[in-house]
Structure 1
Amino acid sequence: MEKGSFKWMKSLNRSIVLNIIRTQGPISRAKIARVSKLTPPTVSSLVNELLESELVIESEQGKSLGGRKPTMLIINSNRFYIIGVDIGPKKIRAALTDLSGDLVEAVGNTIPHAIDENELVILLKKSISKLIESHQNKEIIGIGVGMHGVVDVATGTSVFAPNLNLRNIPLKEELEKEYNVLVKVDNDVRAMAFGEYWYSDVETSKNMVTVNIGHGVGAGIVLNGELFHGDHFLAGEIGHMTIDVAGRKCTCGNTGCWQTLVSGPAIAEIAKEKSVQHPETDILSLVNGDVDKINGETVYSAATNGDALAIEILQEAGDVIGIGLTNLIHMLNPEKIIIGGGVAKASEFILPRVKDTIAKRGITNQAKSTLISCSKQGKNATAMGAAALVLGEIFEGSTPIVE
């Protein structure tokens, strides 16, 4: 098998050595053997193969412990590249990354209001091909896709994309046929969550949840370093847990779902109702008095201008987000929770109230002190997370086979 091919890289012990070099490099061969519990001859053989494939390179000399200085090893980040794609309700965003997950370039294409399955696939390929054509000197070894809606991860099929009203799109099959590389497809929030895990300190953050609060609310759950999908790939639909049994009607048909209180559209609806009672609010000024034009961004802009009503609305949203996250903490007991999506932009108004609510409602001191933060990945969070799905396949190993 050709060295550097995807299947070659996924050999179990090779993955283990690669991941140790990725997370702990620069590192010596002797230390790799100690950490992996593989024999020194096995490590030496694997490292030689990795050096020959150019996946790994030698860097500086390490400190001597009495003999010759050991040669240190690092990942050759610029040898191979990954493309990560975010297929959202309104836009396709594709990102090219190196093996360290560093962003090289990102491109975007707007999705037309009305589009069918074939047209979406054509637009997807156009986005990917644009990156490949701009970087013809770079070898692409995998493509990751984060697709909104329900995804069959086993087949890489978009089962249902509600915001586009599209069904049964064979994304993995189409892209592997077109580009002849490995393709990983998952739900967009799970891809985002895996990116947050992968680009964090993975040695100490094996259990974490990313909650995306934007047009809707969803979660990606990482347990023991692996994405949790559930029995039929529905895990993470926490936006539909009931918070207020007498609350607003949700798009799912139930009432009082969490997302009817904290999503961007929910915040906008609350602002529309309250601004009518407060004609002096800057929320109305920003839309020239047209209540129908109020959206989540309007509320955030007014809050940054110091508008009391806008700040109150966001802080109350923070309280309800805190209630939902407390439920999540009591259910899964993650080490940390990361909040992403458009609502997370208002972290200065929301986050303190989220933390206060959890501190009041957590049933143990450990639950109360769960780490809560907002994502720093920005608009490329899902695309970068999709790229991480492929990186995880390359670098993550299981229990080593001692030879």
Structure 2
Amino acid sequence: MQTITWNQQVVKRNNKSLVLQTIIEKEPVSRADIAQITGLNKATVSSLVNDILEENLIFESGPGESSGGRRPVLLHFNKTAGYAIGIDIGVNYVLSILTDLKGNILIEKNQPIKNVAFEAVTDVVSEMIRSLILEMPESSYGAVGIGIGVPGIVDKQGTVLFAPNLNWSNISLKQHIEEEFKLPVLIENEANAGAYGEKQLGAGQSFQDIIYVSAGIGIGAGIILNGELYQGKNGYSGELGHVIIQANGKKCSCGSQGCWEVYASENALLEMAPQQDATLESLVALAEENDSEAIALFEKIGASIGIGVNNIINAFNPEQVIIGNRLVVAKQWLEKPILETIQTHTLPFHQKEVQLQFSRLSVHSAALGVSAFVVENFIRDGVTVL
């Protein structure tokens, strides 16, 4: 029997990943097309495709268009071979979704929370995961992993170092959930997850340099440069909600003063509202009835969002800025003051090319982003050499 060396295994694994990724991106696609796209020879492609068919990650369908010879059999990615769980932990909610391997949402659960203590939140998260697994359709691989977005600083080992709006520090969330469910778990900053969700499935699909602004109870940012998520040296990038826009300004939950999120977030909106029991939803309902006070509140928040977006555009010169998370529901009152602030303050050269858009995935950006990371890890780590 021929022994496969370690180098040959690495080459085969890489080629197999390349073939599978090509099928995912180009489906339906023939073996001959894969050979042409990847540069691999036809015999290698055929052998690798047979391996992947055995693993039930792809399937064949009837003949495609002929270019002269025999009509080719087409290959498709089996998006229901397994499912991913994506969870977005907000400051006042937990949103969870079950997606297929192409990011289509099958099941969604959203629960408001008031108690943000770690134990209370993880009880809600665990219950949601159990419920999603129970309701999940049968498949070859079942749940392939769990992704969780958290509004805070997360290191590359999945430890939540600091989440000021949750009052968490040095929390081993990854270990906690992995021990309970015995599944691969990844933890990501929710703004990074939102940026990735929009890049893969939403408003950012046609752009390479994107800043995603997560505007919820606090403010965070996810940075996509050259089509890749930029995380900084230790994974801490994107804390633009804590850029100072007012020297010696209002106190922030991070311990500093005058941070952008103190003036431009959902929290800032609710603090300015005259009604003690105001919520984002109640203020939107008032604005929809042309309540001038509610509309003025949104316009003030929009102008403050615009100040931070101006700083982002001047600093990064991106192709696109996407406004996402909960404040997206107030787009019709926020968009104009944001654009007016950019037009007044942003350097003219920087204004020319940039596009301001609101999230296409609405409140699902972060949950879909971590779900996409889970699927990518499964595809990469799940490719075995037979």
Aligned counterparts of 1:30 and 1:227: Cα–Cα separation in 2: 32
Whether contact under 8 Å (2:319, 2:353) holds in the other structure is no
Determine which of 125, 141, 145 is the counterpart of 2:144: 141
- Structure 2 residue 208 is the aligned partner of structure 1 residue 206: yes
Whether contact under 8 Å (2:303, 2:337) holds in the other structure is yes
Question: For 2:276, what is the secondary structure of its paired residue?
Answer: helix
Question: For 2:236, what is the secondary structure of its paired residue?
Answer: coil
Task: Give the equivalent residue in structure 1 for 2:5.
Answer: none
Q: How does 1:1-400 map to 2 (within 5 A)?
A: 11-109=13-111, 111=113, 113=115, 115-117=117-119, 120-135=121-136, 137-138=138-139, 139-152=142-155, 154-200=156-202, 204-245=206-247, 247-272=249-274, 291-364=275-348, 367-394=351-378
Aligned counterparts of 1:201 and 1:317: Cα–Cα separation in 2: 22
Whether contact under 8 Å (1:359, 1:369) holds in the other structure is no
Query: What amino acid is aligned across from residue 149 of structure 1 in structure 2?
Result: G
Kindly provide the CA deviation profile for residues 295-333 of structure 1, in whole angstroms up to 9, marking residues without a partner as x: 444433222111233323323332332232122123223
Please state how far the C-alpha of 1:217 moved relative to its aligned partner. 0.6
Task: Give the equivalent residue in structure 2 for 1:284.
Answer: none
Question: For 1:347, what is the secondary structure of its paired residue?
Answer: helix
Aligned counterparts of 1:78 and 1:150: Cα–Cα separation in 2: 33
Kindly provide the CA deviation profile for residues 77-130 of structure 1, in whole angstroms up to 9, marking residues without a partner as x: 11111111222223333211111111111234554626344x544443222112
Question: For 1:293, what is the secondary structure of its paired residue?
Answer: coil
Task: Give the equivalent residue in structure 1 for 2:7.
Answer: none
Query: What amino acid is aligned across from residue 303 of structure 1 in structure 2?
Result: A
The answer for unaligned runs of 5 or more in structure 2 is: 1-9, 382-386
Structure 1 residues 160 and 361 mapped into 2: Cα distance closer, same or farther (>3 Å)? closer
Aligned counterparts of 2:182 and 2:299: Cα–Cα separation in 1: 49
Question: For 1:233, what is the secondary structure of its paired residue?
Answer: coil
Aligned counterparts of 1:298 and 1:182: Cα–Cα separation in 2: 39
Aligned counterparts of 2:190 and 2:205: Cα–Cα separation in 1: 24
Query: What amino acid is aligned across from residue 126 of structure 1 in structure 2?
Result: E
Structure 1 residues 382 and 345 mapped into 2: Cα distance closer, same or farther (>3 Å)? same
Task: Give the equivalent residue in structure 2 for 1:286.
Answer: none
Aligned counterparts of 2:220 and 2:254: Cα–Cα separation in 1: 13
Question: For 2:145, what is the secondary structure of its paired residue?
Answer: strand
Aligned counterparts of 1:155 and 1:38: Cα–Cα separation in 2: 36
Query: What amino acid is aligned across from residue 301 of structure 2 in structure 1?
Result: A
Aligned counterparts of 2:223 and 2:380: Cα–Cα separation in 1: 17
Query: What amino acid is aligned across from residue 37 of structure 2 in structure 1?
Result: V
Structure 1 residues 230 and 100 mapped into 2: Cα distance closer, same or farther (>3 Å)? same
RMSD: 2.8
Question: For 1:54, what is the secondary structure of its paired residue?
Answer: coil
Whether contact under 8 Å (1:109, 1:127) holds in the other structure is no
Whether contact under 8 Å (1:265, 1:296) holds in the other structure is no
Aligned counterparts of 2:39 and 2:349: Cα–Cα separation in 1: 37
Whether contact under 8 Å (1:156, 1:184) holds in the other structure is yes
Structure 1 residues 108 and 217 mapped into 2: Cα distance closer, same or farther (>3 Å)? same
Query: What amino acid is aligned across from residue 141 of structure 1 in structure 2?
Result: V
Aligned counterparts of 2:27 and 2:343: Cα–Cα separation in 1: 38
Aligned counterparts of 1:122 and 1:189: Cα–Cα separation in 2: 23
Kindly provide the CA deviation profile for residues 232-261 of structure 1, in whole angstroms up to 9, marking residues without a partner as x: 332111111122336433333433322222
Structure 1 residues 142 and 225 mapped into 2: Cα distance closer, same or farther (>3 Å)? farther
The answer for unaligned runs of 5 or more in structure 1 is: 1-7, 273-290, 398-403
Query: What amino acid is aligned across from residue 332 of structure 2 in structure 1?
Result: E
Query: What amino acid is aligned across from residue 71 of structure 2 in structure 1?
Result: K
Aligned counterparts of 1:247 and 1:196: Cα–Cα separation in 2: 32
TM-score, normalised to structure 1's length?
Answer: 0.82
Whether contact under 8 Å (2:203, 2:359) holds in the other structure is no
Question: For 1:292, what is the secondary structure of its paired residue?
Answer: coil
**Identity over aligned pairs, percent:** 36
Aligned counterparts of 1:123 and 1:303: Cα–Cα separation in 2: 32
Structure 1 residues 132 and 248 mapped into 2: Cα distance closer, same or farther (>3 Å)? same
Question: For 1:58, what is the secondary structure of its paired residue?
Answer: strand
Please state how far the C-alpha of 1:396 moved relative to its aligned partner. 7.1
Question: For 2:45, what is the secondary structure of its paired residue?
Answer: helix
Please state how far the C-alpha of 1:72 moved relative to its aligned partner. 1.8
Aligned counterparts of 1:60 and 1:116: Cα–Cα separation in 2: 52
Query: What amino acid is aligned across from residue 336 of structure 1 in structure 2?
Result: Q
Structure 1 residues 80 and 306 mapped into 2: Cα distance closer, same or farther (>3 Å)? same
